[in-house]
Amino acid sequence: MEKNEEYYLGLDKRSKEYKDWKKQQPVEGLGDVIEKVTEATGIKKAVKWLAGDDCGCDERKEKLNKLFPSRFKADCLQKDEYEFANGSFIEFFSADDSSKLRGGRRSILYIYECNSVSFESYNELSRRTNI
């Protein structure tokens, strides 16, 4: 049997297989966050018991996901998004060890969260930067 979304939704919600699958599902927005909190606290179970299976939770979740989408989606850049037609490119790398920074030259250097970069690492980077 193919293990698709329909398969997992048909499993007992208390089974380890279902719980592992549920944890791996991406958070689309605020609706998913609220659903996870209400499931963890038992509120969702109480609402389903009081209001029945059609409590409007799924519709509300979808509406909240559309109104407040997740800001933390891990959309990786594709090669054409960081390499430009003129041959220049944007390079992302870690500066946790200054010995890793002895490499090629660059025109512009931007350090994100520079307060966590050691002076030695900054020195290595600035020596190899024009601006």
Q: In this structure, is residue 73 part of a structural domain? A: no
Q: Using CA atoms, how far apart are residues 50 and 17, in angstroms rounded to an integer?
A: 27
Q: Using CA atoms, how far apart are residues 82 and 100, in angstroms rounded to an integer?
A: 21
Q: How confident is the model at residue 75 (pLDDT cuts 50, 70, 90)?
A: low
Q: In this structure, is residue 72 part of a structural domain? A: no
Q: Are residues 83 and 49 in the same domain?
A: no
Chain position carrying tokens 């994100």: 112
Q: In this structure, is residue 74 part of a structural domain? A: no
- Greatest CA separation for the chain: 67
pLDDT score at 81: 55
Note the pLDDT tens digit of each residue in 21-58.
887 887 788 888 888 888 888 888 888 888 887 888 88
pLDDT score at 1: 63
Domain containing 118: what range? 79-127
pLDDT score at 72: 57
Note the pLDDT tens digit of each residue in 82-118.
777 777 777 777 777 777 777 778 888 888 888 888 8
Q: Using CA atoms, how far apart are residues 124 and 103, in angstroms rounded to an integer?
A: 9
pLDDT score at 83: 72
Contact by Cβ (8 Å): 111, 117: yes
pTM of the model: 0.43
> Exposed/middle/buried for 3, CB within 10 Å: 0-12, 13-18, 19+?
exposed
